[in-house]
Amino acid sequence: MHFELKHTDPHSKARAGLVHTDHGTIETPIFMPVGTQGTVKGVHQQELRDDVQAQIILGNTFHLYLRPGLDVIEGAGGLHQFIGWERPILTDSGGYQVYSLATSRKITEEGVRFQSHHDGSYHFFSPERAIDIQRSIGADIIMAFDECTPYPCDYNYAKRSMHMTHRWLKRCITQMDSTEPKYGFSQALFPIVQGSVYPDLRKESAEFIASQNAEGNAIGGLSVGEPDEDLYSMTDLVCSILPADKPRYLMGVGTPVNILESIAMGVDMFDCVMPSRNARHGMLFTSEGTINIKNQKWKMDFSPLDVNGTAYVDQVYSKAYLHHLIKAKENLAIQIATIHNLAFYLALVKEARARILDGTFRKWKDEQVKILGRRI
Protein backbone atom coordinates (compact mmCIF):
# COMPACT_ATOMS: atom_id res chain seq x y z
CA MET A 1 0.00 0.00 0.00
CA HIS A 2 1.17 3.53 -0.66
CA PHE A 3 -0.31 7.02 -0.51
CA GLU A 4 -0.11 9.61 -3.25
CA LEU A 5 -0.87 13.17 -2.16
CA LYS A 6 -2.38 14.97 -5.16
CA HIS A 7 -3.34 18.42 -3.85
CA THR A 8 -3.70 20.47 -0.67
CA ASP A 9 -6.36 23.18 -0.43
CA PRO A 10 -4.74 26.64 -0.35
CA HIS A 11 -7.23 27.97 2.23
CA SER A 12 -7.23 25.05 4.69
CA LYS A 13 -5.31 21.87 5.46
CA ALA A 14 -7.69 19.71 3.40
CA ARG A 15 -6.00 17.18 1.11
CA ALA A 16 -6.91 15.12 -1.92
CA GLY A 17 -4.97 11.93 -2.43
CA LEU A 18 -4.92 8.33 -3.59
CA VAL A 19 -4.42 5.24 -1.44
CA HIS A 20 -3.14 2.43 -3.65
CA THR A 21 -3.86 -1.13 -2.47
CA ASP A 22 -3.74 -4.54 -4.11
CA HIS A 23 -7.56 -4.51 -4.29
CA GLY A 24 -7.77 -1.11 -5.94
CA THR A 25 -7.14 2.59 -5.48
CA ILE A 26 -9.09 4.68 -2.96
CA GLU A 27 -9.71 8.37 -3.62
CA THR A 28 -9.35 10.50 -0.51
CA PRO A 29 -10.94 12.02 1.44
CA ILE A 30 -13.05 8.90 1.80
CA PHE A 31 -15.79 7.56 4.03
CA MET A 32 -15.76 3.82 4.76
CA PRO A 33 -19.08 2.07 5.51
CA VAL A 34 -18.89 -0.19 8.54
CA GLY A 35 -19.54 -3.88 7.91
CA THR A 36 -19.23 -5.17 11.45
CA GLN A 37 -19.92 -8.87 10.89
CA GLY A 38 -19.02 -9.14 7.23
CA THR A 39 -22.02 -7.14 6.12
CA VAL A 40 -23.03 -3.50 6.01
CA LYS A 41 -26.47 -3.89 7.57
CA GLY A 42 -29.34 -3.27 5.19
CA VAL A 43 -27.44 -3.39 1.87
CA HIS A 44 -25.82 -6.01 -0.30
CA GLN A 45 -22.52 -5.76 -2.13
CA GLN A 46 -23.90 -4.68 -5.51
CA GLU A 47 -25.77 -1.79 -3.86
CA LEU A 48 -22.63 -0.85 -1.94
CA ARG A 49 -20.65 -0.80 -5.16
CA ASP A 50 -23.13 0.78 -7.57
CA ASP A 51 -25.55 2.93 -5.54
CA VAL A 52 -23.47 3.85 -2.51
CA GLN A 53 -20.24 3.87 -4.56
CA ALA A 54 -18.20 2.62 -1.60
CA GLN A 55 -14.51 2.30 -2.41
CA ILE A 56 -13.53 0.51 0.82
CA ILE A 57 -15.51 -1.06 3.67
CA LEU A 58 -14.70 -2.12 7.23
CA GLY A 59 -14.77 -5.49 8.92
CA ASN A 60 -14.67 -5.95 12.67
CA THR A 61 -11.92 -8.20 14.02
CA PHE A 62 -13.61 -8.87 17.36
CA HIS A 63 -16.98 -9.88 15.89
CA LEU A 64 -15.59 -11.86 12.96
CA TYR A 65 -13.25 -13.76 15.28
CA LEU A 66 -16.19 -14.79 17.46
CA ARG A 67 -18.56 -15.48 14.57
CA PRO A 68 -18.25 -17.06 12.03
CA GLY A 69 -14.72 -17.78 13.29
CA LEU A 70 -11.31 -17.90 11.65
CA ASP A 71 -11.73 -21.46 10.37
CA VAL A 72 -14.67 -20.38 8.22
CA ILE A 73 -12.96 -17.22 6.93
CA GLU A 74 -9.73 -19.05 6.15
CA GLY A 75 -11.70 -21.84 4.50
CA ALA A 76 -13.31 -19.29 2.20
CA GLY A 77 -9.93 -17.83 1.28
CA GLY A 78 -10.21 -14.66 3.36
CA LEU A 79 -12.87 -12.07 4.00
CA HIS A 80 -12.93 -10.69 0.45
CA GLN A 81 -13.85 -14.11 -0.93
CA PHE A 82 -16.21 -14.92 1.94
CA ILE A 83 -18.38 -11.82 1.50
CA GLY A 84 -17.98 -11.35 -2.25
CA TRP A 85 -16.30 -7.92 -2.09
CA GLU A 86 -13.49 -7.30 -4.56
CA ARG A 87 -12.53 -3.81 -3.36
CA PRO A 88 -10.31 -2.87 -0.39
CA ILE A 89 -11.23 -3.78 3.21
CA LEU A 90 -9.97 -2.36 6.50
CA THR A 91 -10.25 -4.22 9.80
CA ASP A 92 -10.07 -2.65 13.23
CA SER A 93 -8.01 -4.43 15.87
CA GLY A 94 -10.77 -5.24 18.32
CA GLY A 95 -9.52 -2.61 20.78
CA TYR A 96 -12.68 -0.52 20.61
CA GLN A 97 -14.94 -3.53 21.21
CA VAL A 98 -12.81 -4.49 24.19
CA TYR A 99 -13.25 -0.91 25.46
CA SER A 100 -17.02 -1.28 25.15
CA LEU A 101 -16.99 -4.51 27.21
CA ALA A 102 -16.03 -2.67 30.40
CA THR A 103 -17.89 -5.11 32.68
CA SER A 104 -16.59 -8.31 31.11
CA ARG A 105 -12.91 -7.77 30.31
CA LYS A 106 -9.59 -7.46 32.10
CA ILE A 107 -6.68 -5.46 30.65
CA THR A 108 -3.08 -6.30 31.52
CA GLU A 109 0.28 -5.56 29.95
CA GLU A 110 0.08 -8.87 28.09
CA GLY A 111 -3.29 -8.12 26.52
CA VAL A 112 -7.01 -8.34 27.20
CA ARG A 113 -9.06 -11.22 28.51
CA PHE A 114 -12.75 -10.88 27.68
CA GLN A 115 -15.99 -12.80 27.72
CA SER A 116 -17.98 -13.50 24.57
CA HIS A 117 -21.39 -11.87 24.48
CA HIS A 118 -22.61 -14.86 22.44
CA ASP A 119 -21.97 -17.79 24.76
CA GLY A 120 -20.04 -16.48 27.75
CA SER A 121 -16.79 -18.19 26.70
CA TYR A 122 -13.49 -16.50 27.57
CA HIS A 123 -10.93 -15.30 25.03
CA PHE A 124 -7.62 -13.47 25.06
CA PHE A 125 -6.34 -10.83 22.65
CA SER A 126 -2.69 -9.84 22.76
CA PRO A 127 -1.06 -7.50 20.23
CA GLU A 128 0.42 -10.55 18.53
CA ARG A 129 -2.91 -12.37 18.48
CA ALA A 130 -4.69 -9.31 17.04
CA ILE A 131 -2.20 -9.25 14.17
CA ASP A 132 -2.52 -13.01 13.57
CA ILE A 133 -6.33 -12.76 13.50
CA GLN A 134 -6.20 -9.90 11.00
CA ARG A 135 -3.76 -11.89 8.87
CA SER A 136 -6.39 -14.64 8.79
CA ILE A 137 -9.20 -12.23 7.97
CA GLY A 138 -7.10 -10.79 5.17
CA ALA A 139 -7.94 -7.08 5.11
CA ASP A 140 -5.83 -4.71 3.01
CA ILE A 141 -5.39 -2.31 5.95
CA ILE A 142 -5.17 -3.65 9.49
CA MET A 143 -5.05 -1.74 12.77
CA ALA A 144 -2.59 -2.03 15.62
CA PHE A 145 -4.00 -3.31 18.91
CA ASP A 146 -4.65 -0.42 21.28
CA GLU A 147 -6.64 0.56 24.33
CA CYS A 148 -9.38 3.09 23.63
CA THR A 149 -9.78 5.22 26.77
CA PRO A 150 -13.26 6.38 27.77
CA TYR A 151 -14.44 9.96 28.16
CA PRO A 152 -14.08 11.49 30.67
CA CYS A 153 -10.77 9.90 31.56
CA ASP A 154 -8.36 10.65 34.40
CA TYR A 155 -5.08 12.14 33.14
CA ASN A 156 -2.86 9.57 34.82
CA TYR A 157 -4.96 6.70 33.46
CA ALA A 158 -4.86 8.21 29.97
CA LYS A 159 -1.07 8.53 30.22
CA ARG A 160 -0.55 4.94 31.40
CA SER A 161 -2.93 3.64 28.74
CA MET A 162 -1.20 5.64 26.00
CA HIS A 163 2.22 4.28 26.91
CA MET A 164 0.84 0.74 26.98
CA THR A 165 -0.68 1.30 23.53
CA HIS A 166 2.78 2.39 22.34
CA ARG A 167 4.39 -0.74 23.79
CA TRP A 168 1.66 -2.85 22.21
CA LEU A 169 2.37 -1.16 18.87
CA LYS A 170 6.02 -2.26 18.97
CA ARG A 171 4.83 -5.82 19.52
CA CYS A 172 2.37 -5.49 16.63
CA ILE A 173 5.16 -4.29 14.35
CA THR A 174 7.40 -7.19 15.40
CA GLN A 175 4.58 -9.64 14.72
CA MET A 176 3.90 -8.09 11.30
CA ASP A 177 7.58 -8.36 10.43
CA SER A 178 7.73 -12.02 11.45
CA THR A 179 4.58 -13.16 9.60
CA GLU A 180 3.38 -13.15 6.01
CA PRO A 181 0.01 -12.37 4.38
CA LYS A 182 -2.05 -15.51 3.80
CA TYR A 183 -3.83 -14.75 0.54
CA GLY A 184 -1.21 -13.42 -1.86
CA PHE A 185 -1.75 -9.68 -1.41
CA SER A 186 -0.10 -7.16 0.89
CA GLN A 187 -1.45 -5.83 4.17
CA ALA A 188 -0.61 -2.43 5.67
CA LEU A 189 -0.48 -1.79 9.43
CA PHE A 190 -1.83 1.51 10.78
CA PRO A 191 -0.83 2.48 14.34
CA ILE A 192 -3.26 4.51 16.45
CA VAL A 193 -2.68 7.81 18.27
CA GLN A 194 -4.21 7.91 21.75
CA GLY A 195 -4.04 10.36 24.69
CA SER A 196 -7.70 11.20 25.40
CA VAL A 197 -8.34 14.98 25.30
CA TYR A 198 -5.02 16.01 26.86
CA PRO A 199 -2.91 18.05 24.41
CA ASP A 200 0.46 17.05 25.85
CA LEU A 201 -0.44 13.35 25.66
CA ARG A 202 -1.82 13.66 22.15
CA LYS A 203 1.35 15.46 21.07
CA GLU A 204 3.57 12.80 22.64
CA SER A 205 1.53 9.98 21.12
CA ALA A 206 1.43 11.56 17.65
CA GLU A 207 5.20 12.08 17.71
CA PHE A 208 5.78 8.47 18.74
CA ILE A 209 3.38 7.14 16.10
CA ALA A 210 4.97 9.33 13.42
CA SER A 211 8.42 7.99 14.34
CA GLN A 212 7.37 4.43 13.51
CA ASN A 213 7.16 5.26 9.78
CA ALA A 214 4.06 3.15 9.18
CA GLU A 215 2.25 3.13 5.82
CA GLY A 216 -0.62 5.11 7.33
CA ASN A 217 -1.69 6.45 10.72
CA ALA A 218 -4.91 6.55 12.68
CA ILE A 219 -6.36 8.83 15.36
CA GLY A 220 -8.32 6.88 17.97
CA GLY A 221 -10.00 7.53 21.30
CA LEU A 222 -12.21 10.33 19.99
CA SER A 223 -15.93 10.36 19.23
CA VAL A 224 -16.47 8.61 22.56
CA GLY A 225 -18.61 11.33 24.15
CA GLU A 226 -16.28 14.32 24.24
CA PRO A 227 -17.53 17.76 23.08
CA ASP A 228 -16.98 18.66 19.44
CA GLU A 229 -14.48 21.36 20.42
CA ASP A 230 -12.25 18.68 21.99
CA LEU A 231 -12.67 16.43 18.97
CA TYR A 232 -11.57 19.23 16.69
CA SER A 233 -8.72 20.55 18.81
CA MET A 234 -7.20 17.09 19.29
CA THR A 235 -7.62 16.23 15.61
CA ASP A 236 -6.02 19.49 14.50
CA LEU A 237 -3.10 19.00 16.89
CA VAL A 238 -2.44 15.43 15.80
CA CYS A 239 -2.74 16.20 12.07
CA SER A 240 -0.10 18.92 12.49
CA ILE A 241 2.34 16.23 13.68
CA LEU A 242 1.54 13.13 11.63
CA PRO A 243 3.53 12.95 8.38
CA ALA A 244 1.94 14.58 5.36
CA ASP A 245 2.99 11.79 2.99
CA LYS A 246 0.92 9.13 4.80
CA PRO A 247 -2.90 8.82 4.98
CA ARG A 248 -4.57 9.97 8.21
CA TYR A 249 -7.57 8.02 9.45
CA LEU A 250 -9.89 9.49 12.10
CA MET A 251 -11.65 6.50 13.65
CA GLY A 252 -15.38 6.46 14.38
CA VAL A 253 -16.21 10.00 13.22
CA GLY A 254 -18.95 11.06 12.69
CA THR A 255 -21.70 13.44 11.56
CA PRO A 256 -21.48 15.08 8.13
CA VAL A 257 -20.42 18.32 9.85
CA ASN A 258 -17.73 16.48 11.87
CA ILE A 259 -16.38 14.97 8.68
CA LEU A 260 -16.20 18.24 6.76
CA GLU A 261 -14.51 20.05 9.64
CA SER A 262 -12.02 17.22 10.06
CA ILE A 263 -11.26 17.15 6.33
CA ALA A 264 -10.37 20.83 6.68
CA MET A 265 -7.81 19.83 9.34
CA GLY A 266 -6.10 17.30 7.08
CA VAL A 267 -7.90 13.99 7.74
CA ASP A 268 -8.14 11.62 4.77
CA MET A 269 -10.19 8.62 5.94
CA PHE A 270 -13.32 8.20 8.06
CA ASP A 271 -15.66 5.49 9.28
CA CYS A 272 -18.76 5.61 11.43
CA VAL A 273 -21.84 3.48 12.10
CA MET A 274 -23.98 6.63 12.20
CA PRO A 275 -25.36 6.64 8.63
CA SER A 276 -26.43 2.98 8.77
CA ARG A 277 -27.45 2.88 12.44
CA ASN A 278 -29.45 6.10 12.27
CA ALA A 279 -31.12 4.91 9.06
CA ARG A 280 -32.61 2.01 11.00
CA HIS A 281 -34.28 4.55 13.29
CA GLY A 282 -35.62 6.74 10.50
CA MET A 283 -33.01 9.52 10.51
CA LEU A 284 -31.95 10.67 7.06
CA PHE A 285 -28.98 12.89 6.25
CA THR A 286 -29.87 14.99 3.23
CA SER A 287 -28.45 17.87 1.21
CA GLU A 288 -30.88 20.19 3.00
CA GLY A 289 -30.29 18.95 6.55
CA THR A 290 -31.29 16.04 8.77
CA ILE A 291 -34.85 14.72 8.85
CA ASN A 292 -36.68 12.19 10.99
CA ILE A 293 -38.81 10.36 8.45
CA LYS A 294 -41.01 8.98 11.24
CA ASN A 295 -42.47 12.43 11.89
CA GLN A 296 -46.06 12.98 10.80
CA LYS A 297 -45.06 15.98 8.67
CA TRP A 298 -43.74 13.60 5.98
CA LYS A 299 -46.95 11.55 5.67
CA MET A 300 -48.20 13.52 2.66
CA ASP A 301 -44.86 14.69 1.28
CA PHE A 302 -44.48 13.08 -2.14
CA SER A 303 -41.22 14.79 -3.02
CA PRO A 304 -38.10 12.66 -3.57
CA LEU A 305 -36.05 11.59 -0.56
CA ASP A 306 -33.34 14.00 -1.65
CA VAL A 307 -33.67 16.05 -4.82
CA ASN A 308 -29.86 16.26 -4.96
CA GLY A 309 -29.29 12.62 -4.03
CA THR A 310 -27.01 10.41 -6.08
CA ALA A 311 -28.58 7.00 -5.36
CA TYR A 312 -31.39 5.28 -7.22
CA VAL A 313 -33.56 5.33 -4.08
CA ASP A 314 -33.31 9.12 -3.78
CA GLN A 315 -35.27 9.82 -6.93
CA VAL A 316 -37.58 6.79 -7.12
CA TYR A 317 -39.01 6.84 -3.59
CA SER A 318 -40.83 9.68 -1.89
CA LYS A 319 -40.64 10.82 1.71
CA ALA A 320 -44.27 9.79 2.13
CA TYR A 321 -43.55 6.26 0.94
CA LEU A 322 -40.56 5.82 3.24
CA HIS A 323 -42.61 7.27 6.11
CA HIS A 324 -45.25 4.63 5.42
CA LEU A 325 -42.72 1.79 5.21
CA ILE A 326 -40.99 2.66 8.45
CA LYS A 327 -44.30 3.06 10.27
CA ALA A 328 -45.35 -0.34 8.92
CA LYS A 329 -42.00 -1.79 10.05
CA GLU A 330 -41.25 -3.10 6.58
CA ASN A 331 -37.69 -4.31 5.97
CA LEU A 332 -37.56 -2.27 2.78
CA ALA A 333 -37.63 0.89 4.89
CA ILE A 334 -34.26 0.05 6.45
CA GLN A 335 -32.79 -0.86 3.07
CA ILE A 336 -33.89 2.38 1.41
CA ALA A 337 -32.83 4.59 4.33
CA THR A 338 -29.44 2.88 4.65
CA ILE A 339 -28.64 3.14 0.95
CA HIS A 340 -29.66 6.78 0.99
CA ASN A 341 -27.55 7.70 4.04
CA LEU A 342 -24.44 5.85 2.91
CA ALA A 343 -24.72 7.27 -0.61
CA PHE A 344 -25.08 10.74 0.90
CA TYR A 345 -21.89 10.32 2.94
CA LEU A 346 -19.94 9.02 -0.05
CA ALA A 347 -21.24 11.81 -2.28
CA LEU A 348 -20.30 14.36 0.38
CA VAL A 349 -16.65 13.29 0.54
CA LYS A 350 -16.53 12.99 -3.25
CA GLU A 351 -17.71 16.59 -3.57
CA ALA A 352 -15.22 17.64 -0.87
CA ARG A 353 -12.45 16.05 -2.94
CA ALA A 354 -13.56 17.90 -6.08
CA ARG A 355 -13.66 21.17 -4.15
CA ILE A 356 -10.15 20.59 -2.78
CA LEU A 357 -8.87 19.95 -6.29
CA ASP A 358 -10.44 23.10 -7.74
CA GLY A 359 -9.52 25.33 -4.78
CA THR A 360 -13.06 26.15 -3.56
CA PHE A 361 -13.20 23.77 -0.57
CA ARG A 362 -13.03 26.27 2.29
CA LYS A 363 -15.93 28.47 1.12
CA TRP A 364 -18.03 25.43 0.15
CA LYS A 365 -17.32 23.70 3.48
CA ASP A 366 -18.38 26.74 5.50
CA GLU A 367 -21.66 26.92 3.58
CA GLN A 368 -22.32 23.18 3.91
CA VAL A 369 -21.69 23.13 7.65
CA LYS A 370 -24.52 25.63 8.16
CA ILE A 371 -26.92 23.59 6.02
CA LEU A 372 -26.05 20.06 7.15
CA GLY A 373 -26.12 20.91 10.83
CA ARG A 374 -29.81 21.78 10.87
CA ARG A 375 -32.90 19.66 11.48
CA ILE A 376 -35.78 20.03 9.05
By annotation, the residues acting in catalysis are 92, 271
**94 is an annotated ligand-binding site residue:** yes
**312 is an annotated ligand-binding site residue:** no
Taking a C-beta distance cutoff of 8 angstroms, is the pair 33, 57 a contact?
yes
**93 is an annotated ligand-binding site residue:** yes
**92 is an annotated ligand-binding site residue:** yes
DSSP 244-285: TTS-EEETT---HHHHHHHHTTT--EEE-SHHHHHHTTTEEE
The SS3 call for residue 354 is: helix
The SS3 call for residue 218 is: strand
Residue 232: C-alpha distances to residues 65, 247, 325 (Å)? 33, 18, 37
Q: Are strands 112-115 and 122-125 parallel, antiparallel or unpaired?
A: antiparallel
**35 is an annotated ligand-binding site residue:** no
Residues 6 or more apart in contact with residue 308 via CB below 8 angstroms: 286, 287, 314
CA geometry: angle 342, 62, 121, nearest 5 deg: 140
**221 is an annotated ligand-binding site residue:** yes
**177 is an annotated ligand-binding site residue:** no
**51 is an annotated ligand-binding site residue:** no
Q: How far apart are CA 161 and CA 178, in angstroms?
A: 26
Taking a C-beta distance cutoff of 8 angstroms, is the pair 194, 251 a contact?
no
Burial of 292 (0-12, 13-18, 19+ CB in 10 A): middle
Residue 237: C-alpha distances to residues 35, 90, 206 (Å)? 30, 25, 9
Annotated binding-site residues read 92-96, 146, 194, 221
Binding residues for substrate: 92-96, 146, 194, 221
